Chains A and B, each alone.
Chain A
Amino acid sequence: MRNWPVITLTSLSLAVLMVMPAAAQMAEKSVVQDLPDVAPSQDYCISVMSAFPNGDSVARYQFFKLTEKMAVGSTPEFKAALKHYGDGDVPPETPVIKIIEAIANPVMRQAAPELTIAYMGHLVNFAGRCETYIQGQVNSLLAYDAAFANDDSVISEDALYLRQILSDSLLRLKADKDERYSFAVNNYATSLVAMRDDIEFAAYAKDIDEIEALYMTDLDGRLARSNDMINSEMNRETLGDAVSLSDDMNKQAKKQADRDAIGTLLRILNRY
């Protein structure tokens, strides 16, 4: 169904470490990351968006949607926690595929959870600051082909997987015990349960939708055919015959009544 390997996150190879931005690169703090969400920078947004797949509409939709879903529910407090526990900033032009591969890399999240947090922080920050741009991209791609939305449930599962990695990384660094950030971090962890519930329910509802549609269509067709068959067997002349018979009986009754009336009348008049 999907033609981009992003969904198979768990099968990413260790080779991704080779293309990881060096810690030295990330040590260079970026000023744009400190800008508040309410003040999106056009240059920043365009710069990050240029790192999304460009030649393949399906992949482009999937990555934008994934980014959008990864940022859902990220409060300012949580973003502050990401900034605090993330190790350095990610250059805006870093290809998004590389970022996601890095987050999903099991070795890196064991060895350097700070880097995982930094990568996630980069995407969350981008999604928050450039929400309008992302939404515009998603909408225009859907307008191009509405079938892209068919992958939404799988993208949601991938987003949940990545969010779970982030939550685990934060716990590994004991952010949940940090007085300053524990509330936001624990809330985030709890929200993942609700998100998983929603995703599982969406899958269940989709299965039911399919079964329901299949059975309802099938039933409708069967009943329509049955109705046609039964209706075609009905003899429409029976009622006509009954009405004719009634008319004949009425005429006969009228004649008889007229005869009786004349007879009675004669008898009455003869008395006077």
Chain B
Amino acid sequence: MSRKFILTLLLGSSLCATGCATTAKGVSASAMKSTAVATPYRAAVPEGTTLAVVRYPAHVDTDAQDAFYKAFGQNAVGGQMSRYDATSPEVQGLADSIILKSNYFALSLYKELAERLPEHSVLLSPHLIKKGADGKLTSEPMTQAESLANVVTVDFVSYTFPDSTKMMGKEPLTFGDLVTPLVTVKTDYRAAVPTQGLLLASRPLIPHAATNGKEGATETLAAMQSGRLAAPVPDLDFVAFLNGEAGFVVPQKPLARTGDVNAVRSYGLEKVKLDGAALNALKEGQSGVIDPLESTFSSAFANQIVGIINNTDTDIAAMAGRAAAISQFDESLGALTLVGSEDPAYATRLRYAERLLEAEKNYLSVQSLRLFDGVHNGEMGAQVRDMLKAEYDILEQRRSLARKQNTATALAILGAVAAGAAIANGGSSDRCEDSRTQREYNDCRRRAERTDYGNSVLTNLAIQGAIVAAQEAMATNRRSKAVGGNYLASIAPALEEQQTVQVSLIDSNETITAIRFEDLKEKLQTLYTKNQRSLDTVATRCAYNHDGAVKIGTWMGVCDGGLASGSGVGVLRNADGTSIEYYGYAQNGRPSGPGYMIHHDADQSYAVEGNFSAGLANGVMRVSKSGQADVLRNYQAGQDIGAASSLEAVSSPFNGPVNMTAIN
């Protein structure tokens, strides 16, 4: 009896281990959807500025593949791994499918944004993942989409947990009718100083995306310190995550909270279930016009992005990128565009420069449109849709097997419970030793033997039934895993071919575009130069003395006698790694007049905007710090002397050119 009891316990515990299989349900309505409000685009941007650039991993360089597979396993999102073998075809299939699916589903977002934003204002920027000299992964854009100023960049990855045995679990998955989006939405760090430019992001990516933003700021400052206006293109935030370095802490707030607090809106992990009707329509062959991600995710996410653009100071977001782009063909104008100039010829010249940038932007948008067309409407798109159908079938098989497994598990549990009950109730409760006569004793023994025999038969039957059911449950579980594993192992050649075609397509598009783009730029430059008149006030490089301290920084803008004097940007980097950048007006090398000063400390960045005198904040200043809404404070000679009324006006260098004599 004790052996049976132990067996029952073992059976029960094995059932617990096998457990009830999950059926990878996903959510039919993304959190993006429930928190998005569809508002029309109402912002305005200077000409030649892109509103949104959709960035995604398009390919992994051959030299970087091993490092990518390894990093993919070492830095997983959303669960614990039971096993990981970076060399197994299943794992590599999962990793490769992330790239392939990101390529495909990013187009859904691009399409939705293009529908909502003005023509030629959304660009695609596929990235190539490479291995850097330091062995870390890095990514670089495969096209020139990020060479122009933009208001926001959107990183998109469709993610899958790197453990092929957990496809049916709670872990993130992009397979069949399930997609797990990992996203970040960023603007230029100057337009969202406290969060390093990060506005909305998938929760696991936030610290890494913030680090990425901070590194971009550091790189920009280094370039400015040496007299160059640069707009470096950061790695994909997903790549920064894969590198697994310590993240930079920035405050977060729920996705639904869109208020004024300077924090990143955090988007939780979710497996979004694709539109079932759309998937069925794919099977019916209407594939070209079907977008199964649209109704469940992309449309809502695009609404979120339009809302973000509407609420972003587009002039500040685009100013540095625009200045850097203009500097490439008119160095004397570039830095002046940051806050403007009163020189009458400036406005005229800027108009010419902006029209030139507009032509470049329009031209690059053709490339994005053709990339979309080539991939989505081409053979690769058709194959991905075929793959989605095949995966959906696989997933449905596994769901069916999971349901069978659950039935078998339930039967096994019932059997185990019955056996346990029989054992618990087994034997007579009578104590025959207490009989008063021999007859009573004999009757008692006979009764006990009959009961024991009956219970023994019942218990054996229950245990055997439970074992059979458990065996079925475990076999079904193995079969389910085999279905997924076999698919992942056999799909590798198809993934490889699709990636090859994808890269050929992007490369070909870029080669054709780049050759013609250079030619176009040359023609535009000639036209621009031919039509220009001289500027009385030009941007040059000179000393920026900040607050009169010994250290000297760099000023790019209007100079007089080797010192900052007029509009421009000043940057000062300290030995301890902290730095200050200042956009606005200066006199005698120091901030003087309306200005926007950004402080980069080790653990935070913050901004102060208002009037400056002899390098110091003086008057009503708007202070932007992390984790709180912007506040107005009164400053005197650089000292905060208390709160200011919200009705008081704040001097801003971005409200149009200021006459320097008025500052004097």
- Could you tell me which A residues sit within 8 Å of B by CB distance? 197, 200-201, 204-205, 207-208, 211-212, 215-216, 218-220, 222-224, 226-227, 230-236, 238-243, 245-246, 249-250, 253-254, 257-258, 260-261, 264-265, 268-269, 272
A245–chain B nearest beta-carbon distance, Å: 4
- Complex formed: what's the CA distance from A79 to B344 in Å? 28
Nearest chain B CB to A191 CB, angstrom units: 13
CB closest residue in chain A, given B468: A265
Stretch at the interface among B145-153, B327-335, B520-528: B520-528
A-B contact pairs, 30 of them (CB 8 A): A204-B527, A204-B531, A212-B359, A215-B363, A219-B512, A219-B516, A220-B369, A222-B516, A223-B366, A223-B374, A226-B505, A227-B373, A231-B378, A231-B379, A236-B383, A239-B498, A242-B490, A242-B493, A245-B490, A246-B491, A249-B482, A250-B483, A250-B486, A254-B482, A257-B479, A261-B472, A265-B471, A268-B467, A272-B460, A272-B463
Is residue B513 within 8 Å, beta carbon to beta carbon, of the partner chain? yes
A219-B516, A223-B366, A230-B508 given; name 16 further pairs at CB < 8 Å: A204-B355, A212-B363, A216-B362, A224-B370, A226-B508, A227-B508, A227-B509, A231-B374, A231-B379, A231-B380, A236-B383, A239-B386, A239-B491, A242-B494, A246-B491, A249-B490
**B residues within 8 Å of A by Cβ?**
348, 351-352, 355-356, 359, 362-363, 366-367, 369-370, 373-374, 378-380, 382-383, 386-387, 390, 394, 397, 460, 463-464, 467-468, 471-472, 475, 478-479, 482-483, 486-487, 489-494, 497-498, 501, 504-505, 508-509, 512-513, 516, 519-520, 523-524, 527, 531
Give chain A nearest CB distance to B274 CB in angstroms: 19
Q: How far is the CA of A222 from the CA of B390 in the complex (A)?
A: 34
CB atoms of B374 and A211 under 8 A apart: no
Task: Give A43 Cβ to nearest chain B Cβ, in Å.
Answer: 44
- B497 x A235 contact (CB < 8 A): yes
Residue on A with the closest CB to B478? A257
Q: Is the CB of A234 within 8 A of B486?
A: no
Question: Are the C-beta atoms of B504 and A230 separated by less than 8 Å?
Answer: yes
Report the Cα distance A220→B362, complex, angstroms. Answer: 12
Are A215 and B520 in contact (CB-based, < 8 A)?
yes
Please state if A239 and B383 are interface contacts (CB–CB under 8 Å).
yes
Contact in complex: B382, A249 (CB < 8 Å)? no
Q: Within 8 Å CB of A238, what residues of B?
A: 493-494, 497
* A227: chain B residues within 8 A (beta carbon): 370, 373-374, 378, 505, 508-509
Q: Is the interface of A mostly helix, strand, loop or mixed?
A: helix
Please tell me if the beta carbons of A261 and B471 are within 8 angstroms of each other in the complex. yes
Given the known interface contacts A204-B352, A226-B512, the answer about A264 and B471 at a Cβ–Cβ threshold of 8 Å is: yes
Contact partners of B471 in chain A: CB under 8 A: 261, 264-265, 268
Residues of the A chain whose Cβ atoms lie less than 8 Å from the Cβ of B390: 239, 243, 246
B455 to chain A, nearest CB (A): 14
Q: Is the CB of A257 within 8 A of B475?
A: yes
Given contacts A212-B362, A227-B370, contact A205 B355 (CB under 8 A): yes
- Complex: how many Å from CA A184 to CA B322? 39
Task: List chain A residues, Cβ under 8 A from B492.
Answer: 242
- The CA of A249 and the CA of B523, in the complex, are separated in Å by 59
Question: Which residues of A have CB within 8 Å of B366?
Answer: 216, 219-220, 223
Nearest chain-A residue to B476 (Cβ)? A257
A242 to B351, CA, bound (A): 56
CB proximity of A250 to chain B, nearest CB, Å: 5
B contact residues around A239 at 8 Å (CB) = 383, 386-387, 390, 491, 494, 498
Among B464, B493, B531, which residue has its beta carbon within 8 angstroms of that of A269? B464
| B475 pairs with A261, CB closer than 8 A | yes
B486 and A233 contact, CB distance less than 8 A = no
Please state if B382 and A236 are interface contacts (CB–CB under 8 Å): yes
Residues of B within 8 A of A265 (CB): 468, 471
| List of B residues within 8 angstroms of A231 by Cβ | 374, 378-380, 501, 505
Question: Hey, which chain A residues are within 8 Å of B362, CB to CB?
Answer: 212, 216
Q: B351 contacts A234, CB within 8 Å?
A: no
In the complex, chain A residues whose CB is within 8 Å of the CB of B374: 223, 226-227, 230-231
Q: Which of B351, B382, B512 is A222 in contact with, Cβ under 8 Å?
A: B512
Interchain CB contact under 8 A, A211 and B493: no
- Which among B363, B380, B498 is the interface contact of A219 at CB below 8 angstroms? B363
Q: How far is the CB of A27 from chain B (nearest CB, A)?
A: 43
Find chain B residues with CB under 8 A from A240 CB: 386
Bound-complex Cα distance A231 to B370 (A): 13
Residue from B356, B397, B464, B531 in contact with A268 in the complex, judged by beta carbons closer than 8 Å: B464
State the Cβ distance, A256 to closest chain B Cβ, in Å: 9
Q: Nearest residue in A to B391 (C-beta to C-beta)? A: A243
For A241, list chain B residues within 8 Å (CB). 493-494
Cross-chain contact B490 with A223 (CB below 8 angstroms): no
Which residue, A241, A265, A269, has most C-beta atoms of chain B within 10 A? A265
